[in-house]
Structure 1
Amino acid sequence: MNKSNIRFAIVGCGRIAQRHAEHINKQGTLVAVCDIVKEKADTLAEKYNAKAFYNIEDLLKNAKDVDVVSICSPNGLHATHSIQSLKAGFHVLCEKPMATSVYDCGEMIKTAEQVNKRLFAIKQNRFNPPVAAVKQAIDEGRLGKIYSVQLSCFWNRNKDYYENSWKGTKDLDGGTLYTQFSHFIDLLYWMIGDVKSVEAFTGNYAHQDTIEFEDTGVAILSFYNGAIGTVNYTVNSYEKNMEGSLTIFAEKGTVKIGGQYLNELEYQNIENYKIDNLPEGNKANNYGNYQGSMSNHDKVYENLIDVLTNNASISTSAFEGLKTVEIIDKIYSAAKDIK
């Protein structure tokens, strides 16, 4: 892969920033990093020969050789940091979730339009080979009318995951759907359609002394196209992740994408059609005692660079990032907390 001339800065030097830096280094140049924890900024800067900053204002004022700012800060700061970066004249790539409120997403989009800069959202599960193959089959009409869908997200996040972290706080994390499962919710919008109405129940069963919101939820969805669906999610799977799956029942077929993180095509029965020869996907983001979604940040950066250098089509627009937050907001607004 040829490296581009695109120059990047990273805001927030936590776990996911390491993944961003790795792919930036392969496809462009990391010239600046920023974190309010000096040690984190210095460590990442030294590894990639970048300049370290300790607040975003200094970065945006002094790092003039930057083209794109990658926002990897806590969820609740995504909107503020993205808007600051856009107004300073940079393109922005924002980690998931785009923000933790629909209003903030709208302000981010408006700012990008006002300053004529690109705002990229990250929806990495779209690149999982079985997901992309089923999406293609849907777009080609091979499944016919979609009747119903079942999304299951059964992961483990123990006390150690949340300890001494912004994760688990209402202001900076926002909720389990935002931090753990927003990529899964995105696929409902991308593959099935927009959500019209929601009924939901949530509860905090095993993390009462650890997090400020639910660790488990169930939701019933109706879509504008007439489909119905369920979302069943938890971070209480005993000791380890169990499943991340999406099952679709349609007029001409049934498919289930499963595995721990939508990485396997577990079942298919489609009229006069078979999905085969799927390429092997990337491994999951590995964080020691737990795993996240499939690591497709390489494809995110490939698309970003293609957009900026060749005027290619953007793989995930900011509008789609907003729609994910909108669906999560509908679930939380409808949810009845039972514990």
Structure 2
Amino acid sequence: MSKIKFAIIGCGRISYKHIEALVNNYEEAELVATCDIVEEKAKKSAEEYMTLINEKIKKTNNQAIVDLGTKICQPSSVNYYTDYKEMLVKEDINVIAIATESGYHAKHTIDGLNAGKHVLVEKPMALSLSDADKMITLAREKGLKLGICHQNRFNPPIQKLRRAIEEGRFGKIVNGTARILWNRNDDYYKQAPWRGTKELDGGTLMNQCIHNIDLLQWMMNSEVERVYAERGTFLRDIEMEDFGAILIRFKNGSIGIVEGSACVYPKNLEETLSIFGEKGTVVIGGLAVNDIKTWIFEDERDYDREDFYTEIDSVYGKGHTPLYKDFINAIKENREPLINGEEGKKALEIILKAYEF
């Protein structure tokens, strides 16, 4: 199969991680177009990709690669648009990556699927369960792949924890805790008027906490039985919450606790996932659940001694590159991506239940 052709819709804060992931998967994928309603942003992202991909090729440009024609296969330029519908008509695209405002994710996904494109969409996949269901159903009907960007599932420490879960090393799981103790000051919300709004964003639980809530429910390995929540707007001038707490009872009897804050002074403190069972305790912390703080089990396995620490430069971590790799392979192998629509819906459902309080 030739390289899979990607386009990016939405060239704001997170788009550089999509560009980075495409550059790192350059042997199998390429960016052919970008789109943003602000033309300068779309142009900047297109130029950023070309700069990075040329640097990548230069670093790996030995004779074998030249003989294979890798350099020639790279695009000579990336087109940019302000109208994504025009882009979908004009460009030869296999996949659209959606990084627009959360409130537009469902519409852009549905339009992309109806245009016959696979879709990889940033979290949250939608702001309502009805929209999430429409996206899932349409992808199934069209025979297309729908992936959700919960990239922290690919963190090496998280993968190590998931292995322990699947091997049953905890015995009976008692509880798990997701703590997101971050700072998002007024300047952050003023940078984009959609942030913190009910219509286009949601609050701290939906925007900042959804990644760790996804990890928590993934590790608890059970459907949700009931949810209770408290939330409020304490310090930020926004429509939704800047602090929230959720208590989750899972059907297997275990309990999940979520503490999510955008009010920590003066900067981000931690993002931590803890799992406690009758035969094991694991705490993964760091800036973006990238560092194993505690790893204790009744039994011992060879991989217990492996550190799995991941150096990161931002709260976004380095998970987009393996997430893209998995999505590319899902297309080539005609299988579901690890984080498909059904998986992406699970954390969304917990948060929407919390918003009922």
TM-score, structure 2 as length reference: 0.87
Partner of 1:104: 131
**More divergent stretch after superposition (79-88 vs 142-151):** 142-151
Q: Does 1:247 align with 2:235?
A: no
Cα separation, 2, equivalents of 1:45 and 1:11: 11
Cα separation, 1, equivalents of 2:125 and 2:7: 18
Cα separation, 2, equivalents of 1:253 and 1:280: 20
Structure 1: state its 5+ residue gaps. 286-291
Letter of the 1:329 counterpart: L
Cα separation, 2, equivalents of 1:164 and 1:155: 17
Partner of 2:197: 169
Letter of the 2:343 counterpart: E
Cα separation, 1, equivalents of 2:271 and 2:343: 21
Partner of 2:242: 215
Say if 1:115 and 1:311 are closer, same or farther in 2 by CA, change over 3 A: closer
Q: Does 1:61 align with 2:89?
A: yes
3-state SS in 1 of match to 2:7: strand
Map 1:32-111; keep pairs closer than 5 Å. 32-47=33-48, 48=50, 49-63=77-91, 65-111=92-138
From 11, 28, 42, the counterpart of 1:13: 11
Per the TM alignment, residue 194 of structure 1 is displaced from its structure 2 partner at its CA by 2.3
Partner of 2:172: 145
Greater Rg by CA: 2
Map 1:1-339; keep pairs closer than 5 Å. 5-27=3-25, 28-47=29-48, 48=50, 49-63=77-91, 65-165=92-192, 166-192=194-220, 193-207=222-236, 209=237, 211-273=238-300, 275-285=304-314, 292-311=315-334, 314-333=337-356, 335=357
Letter of the 1:277 counterpart: E
Letter of the 2:355 counterpart: Y
3-state SS in 2 of match to 1:15: coil
Note if contact 1:94-1:122 (Cα within 8 Å) is conserved in structure 2.
yes
RMSD over equivalenced CA pairs, Å: 1.6
Structure 2: state its 5+ residue gaps. 51-76
Cα separation, 1, equivalents of 2:247 and 2:196: 24
**CA offset digits 1:36-74 (Å, max 9, x no partner):** 1111112222333211111121111211x1100000101
Say if 1:253 and 1:153 are closer, same or farther in 2 by CA, change over 3 A: same
Letter of the 2:24 counterpart: K
Note if contact 1:261-1:284 (Cα within 8 Å) is conserved in structure 2.
no
Letter of the 2:180 counterpart: C
**More divergent stretch after superposition (255-264 vs 83-92):** 255-264
Note if contact 1:4-1:305 (Cα within 8 Å) is conserved in structure 2.
no
Cα separation, 2, equivalents of 1:219 and 1:178: 12
Say if 1:23 and 1:229 are closer, same or farther in 2 by CA, change over 3 A: closer
Note if contact 1:217-1:232 (Cα within 8 Å) is conserved in structure 2.
yes
**CA offset digits 1:188-225 (Å, max 9, x no partner):** 22110222111111011110x2x111100112110011
**CA offset digits 1:146-183 (Å, max 9, x no partner):** 01112211011111111130222221112212211111
Identity of aligned residues (%): 42
Per the TM alignment, residue 268 of structure 1 is displaced from its structure 2 partner at its CA by 2.4
Note if contact 1:142-1:273 (Cα within 8 Å) is conserved in structure 2.
no
Per the TM alignment, residue 313 of structure 1 is displaced from its structure 2 partner at its CA by 5.2
Cα separation, 2, equivalents of 1:24 and 1:256: 31
Cα separation, 2, equivalents of 1:312 and 1:319: 14
**More divergent stretch after superposition (312-321 vs 72-81):** 312-321
Note if contact 2:223-2:251 (Cα within 8 Å) is conserved in structure 1.
yes
Cα separation, 1, equivalents of 2:343 and 2:99: 19
Cα separation, 2, equivalents of 1:26 and 1:293: 16
Partner of 1:288: none
Count of aligned pairs between the two proteins? 323
